Amino acid sequence: MRHHSNSDEIYRVVLDFNSDGTLTNWAKTSAPIGKNLIGAFPEVKEVMRLRKNPGTDLLGYEDRVFYEERVYFADSSLFRIFDIPLLRGDPAKALSVKKLHYPY
């Protein structure tokens, strides 16, 4: 992660879970924690959630509908936090939410 230009400002929130004396770290928290972090800590500038979706998802693009495995969901702030080059397109619009339309 050190290859990102602001890597010294990127943090990952984890949940420590203790079960019968065994400590487990989960890289997941409840969904609203990001907004609460921004409100509670002025040094938090951006929040991004990333989630791997288990199984297979039905996706659509233009007039095509298809199934895809290993889908990840990310907030649109992904490209403001991480230096990830796109092959084409505008990173400011790449993860914007659009109304879903199923052509069937």
3-state SS class at 36: helix
Q: Given this model, what pLDDT does residue 82 score? A: 92
Q: Which two tokens stand for residue 68?
A: 């895809």
Block mean pLDDT (10 aa), the chain, length 104: 79 87 84 85 89 86 88 88 90 74 50
- At 43, phi and psi to the nearest 5? -75, -15
Within 13 Å and on the Cβ side, how many CA atoms surround 48?
Answer: 17
Instruction: Judge if pTM exceeds 0.85.
Output: no
d(CA 50, CA 31): 10
Domain spans, the chain:
7-81
